[in-house]
Amino acid sequence: MSRPLLQLALDHTDLHHALRDVELLAGHVDIVEAGTILCLNEGLQAVRSLRTHCPDKIIVADWKVADAGEALAQQAFSAGANWMTVICAAPLATVEKAHQAAVQQNGEVQIELFGNWTFDDARAWHSIGIRQAIYHRGRDAQASGQSWGEADLARMKVLSEIGLALSVTGGITPESLTLFRDINVKAFIAGRALTTASQPQQVARAFHQQLTDIWGEY
């Protein structure tokens, strides 16, 4: 199992504050994500600006696309994104159009798993070429007390077997990484665990230390 990457999620409401954390943390992560909140506040400029500030990083446009897959994929990838998220509730036609547009620009679509989805959906996504999904413990679900459990891990294993590499998000801390040692994790996504830490770079180093301890070097 290859070593998971570390993704910084920027869920700031303005670009100015987001870029301050990018300045501090970009050298310590593999992937930088323009979060939904940031994108809805700042528009396409959020993605463009991250591409400019982080020329060597993987940039994610966390747009949770539900429709107009082709148009939105063209915009996200033209603006500099490498990966773009599509919500699991999107019709398969939308996923397919987003994926086709992504491929043309060397990009990738990640399916964001929220609410009602099935393993048959996952197989359908895989069959049209999708190779990534994002497994969530949502911010609101988390706030209402839901935690990572055996049911989550079992579902993640099935998704891995279907052929989807998973990015994992929702209250991820360095200490929690061991939970996922048997899963094909593409990336761990950390937002506030990094950005609200008193020593953000130190937390990033703790993430990498744990990743190396569990999965070995890159």
Q: List the catalytic residue out of 6, 18, 31, 37.
A: 37
CA distance 189 to 198: 18
Q: Residues binding a copy of itself: what is the number (CB under 8 A)?
A: 45
Our CB check for a copy of itself shows the closer of 170 and 210 to be 170
Q: Quote the distance between the C-alpha of residue 72 and its chain's center.
A: 17
Our CB check for a copy of itself shows the closer of 6 and 95 to be 95
Report if residue 66 touches a copy of itself, rule: CB under 8 A. Answer: yes
Give the closest residue to 132 by CA, choosing from 87, 155, 164, 108: 164
Q: List the catalytic residue out of 136, 172, 183, 193.
A: 136
CA distance 214 to 2: 10
60 φ, ψ (degrees, to nearest 5)? -110, 130
Place of tokens 């988390």: 142
Are 101 and 70 contacting, i.e. CB atoms less than 8 angstroms apart?
yes
Our CB check for a copy of itself shows the closer of 159 and 211 to be 159
Our CB check for a copy of itself shows the closer of 30 and 112 to be 112
Q: List the catalytic residue out of 108, 112, 121, 152.
A: 112
As beta bridge partners, residue 109 has: 84
Write down the least CB distance from residue 160 to a copy of itself, Å. 21
Write down the least CB distance from residue 131 to a copy of itself, Å. 20
Report if residue 70 touches a copy of itself, rule: CB under 8 A. Answer: yes
Report if residue 100 touches a copy of itself, rule: CB under 8 A. Answer: no
Structure tokens at 59: 């940039």
Active site members: 36-37, 64, 67-68, 72, 112, 136, 139
